[in-house]
Chains A and B, each alone.
Chain A
Amino acid sequence: MSAESTDVRDRYWQKTRNLTILVLILWAFFALIIPTLITVLNTVTFLGFPLGYYMIAQGSLIAFVLLIWFQNWRQDAIDDEFGFGDEG
């Protein structure tokens, strides 16, 4: 493995890691922080729901789906940028 390709891989991995950390922070917010705020959030009404209940019944779930699709979109872009797109 040449020094240059090692460098490319390091930069690729750094970007991948940063994206993963961002995704995990957002994940922790929706999965772990939101449910603990239930009492406060329930005082707010959203679409007729108490907001805290809405989040654990629907809101966070939607956030998880979007989060995965967002990550894949960004990760594909990183892969392509470094010529690591493996399609084909």
Chain B
Amino acid sequence: MALIQGRFIDNIGRVYGLYTGGFIAFIILMAILEQLGVSADAIGIMFVAFTIAIYALIGWLSRTMEVDAYYVAGRQVPALYNGMATAADWMSGASFVALAGGVYFGGYGYMAFIIGWTGGYVLVNSLMAPYLRKFGCYTVPDFIGTRYGGNLARLCAVIVLVVASFTYVTAQINATGTIAARALHIPFSWGVWFGLAGILVCSMLGGMRAVTWTQVAQYIVLIIAYLVPVIWMSNVQGFGIIPHFTYGEAAANMAQFEAQYGLNPPAEAIPGLSVLTTPHTGPVGDYAQWKFVTLALCMMAGTASLPHILMRYFTTPSVRSARKSVGWSLLFIFLLYFTAPALATLTKLQLLDPSLPTAIIGKPFEEVASLAWIQNWSSVGFLAIADQNGDGILQLNEFFMRPDIVVLATPEIAGLPYVISGLVAAGGMAAAMSTADGLLLAIANALSHDLYYKMIDPKADTSVRLIVARVLLLGIGALGALIASLQLTGILGAVAWAFCFAASGLFFPLVLGVWWKRANREGAIAGMVAGFVAGSAYLYYVYTGGTPWLGLDHLRFGIIGMATSLVAMVVVTLMTPAPDEEIQRMVDETRVPVGPPILAPKH
């Protein structure tokens, strides 16, 4: 197996080049089949089934019984490919499906997510990734447990990690279920289990190695699926060849349309659906800028503390390549994130600008009601039009839509062929599956490596450890799917919470572990416990109807958690003795890129 792995690494560019070519050929084949009269449903099924079959094949080929291959992909993933894998790991179903819709409806306030989910990588690169790579850990609690010493610190880190990641993974399994249900025409509750099966095939046999190589494949699918419809639409509608640089005027003109139609709440609201009431480019309401900055800060600190992202940088061959791969990661993420506002703006323009043939606002009500895409999405309850003022004209506040259908419905609004919609479904599936994979693996690895191996049975041999890791993966996946099938939270709420949990409990213990030599065990435990408890308590308070303090609502509870964590950690550290010389030397070693890792290569 080692030989094949070596050959694969040498040929990696060719392998993924062929794969990308094959995928494009598949898209063209689907387009031809559509022209030959194959039904839209069949094309949707083929897109989802074909891509999942490929991921499953990669997962099977990457199976392993080696500890370091299972936990850190053998530490031989080149920076460029680790960047792609991180980007897929990072961009969740929420990014893919909900981001553009969020910008469409939320305007300025929502764009804090875009800043937060990209700016966080500057923190990852400057404060965390290179040092954790040098440390040589398998998991994030591995760093906490070794740097601060003691099982209690390790256990606290495991708990925060599990809560944050589990919050996140249920949202991803939910998203895979939604997409699978729509594309394959099965009930949502089956879709969830189908999605889980796909996720587990990618991760069970080969751990981090399998997840890495499937995530690279998933990135290629998801970025093609995001960019092609936007660029195609832009060319069909005459918005420019590459719309990203030419939609400025559309954004600038939006204020004029907003004034023309009026941003008013609907006469009668429809539950679950929204009308546009927020201006596109400017802030609105009290504390708008403060809310932007606090949300962005929570997302950025969360980015730098979420274990499924940090552990991707444990897989590179060196400290330098870890840094380089952060650079690649953000570049690949940027490609999607700077497209989302363009998509949101152009979709809005198509609906609002009366000089475009696709416009619906201000048109006679009957004419709009007869459009095919309006009928399709209305029939599943994702969209509604209601002539509430009885003037026979569709007003802006009479057009209701679920925010997360903007990406899915845009190809239809612009009149693109169905093959594009099938492609988008495959892309959304890839985004949700890749993130779910990374998260499930982060949880299962923390439990198997840190809880089981390091704390319960340090003498366990390799095969037992890897079997425990897989059983946990299966169990946690099943639990996640069970909770997802109950549909307790919306996709976005749960995602933002995961970032806040991670930032509250882990951000400062991780950062100060490298950057403050004086930081000791007592301080770190205090920081994790106080931050996590304060954040959670505040979340409970706001979520059960408490008045948010300074506009810090349930999406921003990480601010409270982080502030508490920092104060608790610094105060308790200074009240207790400095760490011993061995730990201080360990910190010194962590800071230089050369020399052996702190933890042995196979521990």
A residues whose Cβ falls under 8 Å from a Cβ of B: 1, 9, 12-13, 16, 20, 23-24, 27, 30-32, 35-36, 38-39, 42, 45-50, 52-54, 56-58, 60-62, 64-65, 67-69, 71-72, 75-76, 79, 83-87
Contacts and interface: CB of A to CB of B under 8 A. Distances in A.
B495 to A, nearest CB: 19
Contacts of B362: none
A6 B280 CA distance: 55
8 contacts: A13-B591, A38-B289, A45-B248, A47-B248, A50-B252, A52-B282, A62-B334, A71-B323
A35 B252 contact: no
B121 interface: yes
A76 B283 contact: no
B111 interface: yes
B199 interface: no
Given A61-B334, A71-B125, 11 more contacts: A27-B119, A27-B126, A35-B115, A38-B283, A45-B248, A48-B252, A49-B248, A57-B114, A57-B338, A68-B125, A71-B122
Given A35-B112, A86-B320, A50 B300 contact: no
A86 B252 contact: no
B187 to A, nearest CB: 38
A58 B246 CA distance: 12
B127 A31 contact: no
A38 B282 contact: yes
Question: Which of A1, A12, A50, A64 gathers the greatest number of chain B CB atoms within 10 Å?
Answer: A64
Interface in B278-335: 280-283, 289-290, 292-293, 296-297, 300, 318-320, 323-324, 326-327, 330-331, 334
B289 A52 contact: no
B249 interface: yes
Contacts of B585: 1
A23 to B, nearest CB: 5
A87 B323 CA distance: 12
B112 to A, nearest CB: 7
Interface in B94-114: 108, 111-112, 114
A57 B342 CA distance: 8
A72 B591 CA distance: 15
A27 to B, nearest CB: 4
B108 A38 contact: yes
Nearest to A88: B318
B125 A48 contact: no
A61 B114 contact: yes
B108, B119, B122, B585 pick with most chain A CB within 10 angstroms: B122
Contact of B121 (A35, A36, A38, A64): A64
Interface hub of A23, A57, A65, A68 (most chain B Cβ within 10 A): A57
A75 B326 CA distance: 13
B281 A72 contact: no
Contact of A36 (B111, B246, B293, B337): B293
Nearest to A21: B126
A24 B126 contact: yes
A65 B326 CA distance: 9
A58 to B, nearest CB: 5
B245 interface: yes
Contacts of A13: 591
A60 B122 CA distance: 12
B313 to A, nearest CB: 13
Interface string B327-364: 10011001001100110000000000000000000000
Nearest to A69: B327
B238 to A, nearest CB: 15
B252 A72 contact: no
B334 A72 contact: no
Nearest to A55: B115
Given A42-B281, A69-B327, A86-B594, A30 B338 contact: no
Contact of B248 (A46, A52, A75): A46
A45 B248 CA distance: 9
Given A45-B252, A50-B251, A86-B593, A61 B126 contact: no
Contacts of A50: 251-252, 281-282
A86 B319 contact: yes
Contact of A32 (B125, B297, B324): B297
B592 A60 contact: no
Interface string B558-581: 000000000000000000000000
B334 A65 contact: yes
A54 B342 CA distance: 10
A27 B585 CA distance: 30
Contact of A72 (B246, B290, B324): B324
A54 B318 contact: no
Given A39-B283, A47-B245, A69-B327, A61 B118 contact: yes
Given A23-B122, A65-B330, A42 B592 contact: no
Given A35-B112, A49-B252, A86-B318, A79 B593 contact: yes
B244 interface: yes
A43 to B, nearest CB: 10
Nearest to B592: A84
Contacts of A76: 320
B44 to A, nearest CB: 31
A84 B337 CA distance: 35
Contacts of B588: 9
B119 A31 contact: yes
Contacts of A27: 119, 122-123, 126
A67 B293 contact: no
Given A23-B126, A35-B296, A48-B252, A57 B283 contact: no
B249 A48 contact: yes
Contact of B289 (A36, A61, A67, A71): A36
Contacts of A24: 122, 126
Given A31-B115, A64-B330, A68-B327, A54 B300 contact: no
